[in-house]
A = this chain, B = another copy of it.
């Protein structure tokens, strides 16, 4: 089956407390996004890569391409309000058959093995979601009715949960109809859209190094992991 990649780069930098969108921050001389795309170029060189980016960043992206060379993205698409809308925009550009890996732009360390395993698992089972155990205990919280403040919390068993990473891989013939549903706030990742259409989710082995860079501390961590 033909393979495709969608890289979702929705953010514009708020949580990273910088003026630069986090996918454009540098790790050892290259923007994070370039590092992410390079991994997919190595793992699945045949797969076209659709980059979904906030429209306000198109100019900066082109300047970075002139400075650092091609990113590896074969198509550039305008992102939407929520991740759901950005992924939907990316999917619209793809055929109705094949496999797609959907990946966070700010997760620059998926191993070659992880990417290939996710595609192979989805080829057999229709989906592949990389997961790892939780490191810390978690508590389930309730919010006050009239505010955003936490009103109550209760301990839950950490071993009943797994932490979810990307790339999440899917059979396009199942995923595209799933994304035809109306948007729901319960769609926290692509797997949740897929399963809302009644399709079973298959898990595969994630990797602790495959971290999502969200805060300034993560960038220090990323530079350390890259320098290893």
Contact = CB atoms under 8 A, between A and B. Distances in A.
Name A's interface SS. mixed
Interface stretch (A49-57, A66-74, A113-121, A151-159): A151-159
A138 B162 contact: yes
Contacts of A186: 155, 157
Q: Could you say which of A131, A139, A161 has the most chain B C-beta atoms within 10 Å of its C-beta?
A: A139
Given A157-B188, A188-B155, A212 B164 contact: no
Copies of this chain, count? 2
A209 interface: yes
A225 interface: yes
Contact of A214 (B135, B140, B155): B135
A217 B212 contact: no
Contact of A161 (B138, B215, B228): B138
Contacts of A192: 137, 155
Contact of A164 (B136, B150, B163): B136
Interface residues of A, number: 44
23 contacts: A129-B139, A134-B138, A134-B163, A137-B191, A137-B192, A138-B161, A139-B164, A139-B201, A139-B203, A141-B160, A141-B162, A150-B203, A153-B201, A153-B203, A154-B195, A155-B192, A157-B188, A158-B188, A208-B218, A220-B225, A221-B224, A223-B224, A224-B224
Those 6 A-B pairs whose CB atoms lie nearest each other, nearest first: A224-B224, A155-B192, A137-B164, A137-B189, A136-B163, A221-B221
Interface of A: 129, 131, 134-141, 150, 153-158, 160-165, 186, 188-189, 191-192, 195, 201, 203, 208-209, 212, 214-215, 217-218, 220-221, 223-225, 228
